[in-house]
Structures are given as structure tokens and as C-alpha cells.
């Protein structure tokens, strides 16, 4: 078996595997169940798509075609990136007013 695609996540790997299976290439997703171990395992490089050695060249062509058709995704901000001061202030004000409303409702 040969790896023909390294996916960002399990969903993407299954999409690619399904595309290969639609044209008659037996594809197998490996590592998708490892995503449940995030924190214990590295966050990337866990999920991949594998095919038989004889199907590798054809599968790589289809994977390249799939990648060309995908739109460029914008970089998502890091979940640990600091909030901007405007975002922090907005969240603080919303939380304050929500707390005031809850307290008023409880005191009635």
C-alpha cells in the first residue's frame, strides 16, 4: 500500500477516498480515529489516504486534479491568538449587561 494523500482532517481524507473509490480505486483512510487523541498526539499529519501499489500513479493524478479544483482557504487565526482590544471590550460589555439582566430577573 502507498500513501497518496495527507489530509488536514478525517473529513477531507474520506472525501478524497470516496473520489478515488468512485473511479474504481480501492482507497483506505488511516489515522482518522487518532484525532480523538489531540493533546496527547501531534495536531497534524495524522490522517492519510492509501491505495494499492498498482493504483498509485492513477490515484496521484486524481488527487492532483482534486487539489487543483479546491479553492485557496484563508489562514484561520490561531485559537491561542490574543483578542484585539476592540473584541475584548465588546465581549466584556456584552458579558456585563447580560449579568445585569440576569441579576435583575433574579431579584424580582
What is 2-69's CATH number? 3.30.70
Name the pTM for this structure: 0.59
Average pLDDT over residues 7-36: 88
| β-bridge mates for residue 92, sequence order | none
All structural domains of the chain with their residue ranges: 2-69
Number of H helices and E strands in the chain, helices first, is: 3, 3
d(CA 60, CA 69): 14
pLDDT surpasses 60 at 5: yes
pLDDT higher than threshold 70 for residue 60? yes
| pLDDT tens digits, one per residue of 33-46 | 765 555 555 555 67
Amino acid at each position: 500500500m502507498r500513501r497518496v494523500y495527507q489530509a488536514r482532517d478525517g473529513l477531507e481524507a474520506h472525501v478524497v477516498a470516496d473520489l478515488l473509490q468512485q473511479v474504481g480505486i480501492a482507497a483506505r483512510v488511516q489515522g482518522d480515529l487518532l484525532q480523538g487523541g489531540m493533546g496527547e498526539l501531534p495536531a497534524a499529519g495524522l490522517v492519510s489516504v492509501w491505495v494499492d501499489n498498482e493504483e498509485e500513479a492513477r490515484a496521484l493524478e486524481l488527487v492532483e486534479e482534486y487539489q487543483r479544483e479546491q479553492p485557496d482557504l484563508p489562514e484561520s487565526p490561531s485559537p491561542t491568538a490574543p483578542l484585539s482590544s476592540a473584541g475584548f471590550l465588546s465581549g466584556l460589555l456584552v458579558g456585563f449587561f447580560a449579568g445585569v439582566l440576569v441579576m435583575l430577573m433574579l431579584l424580582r
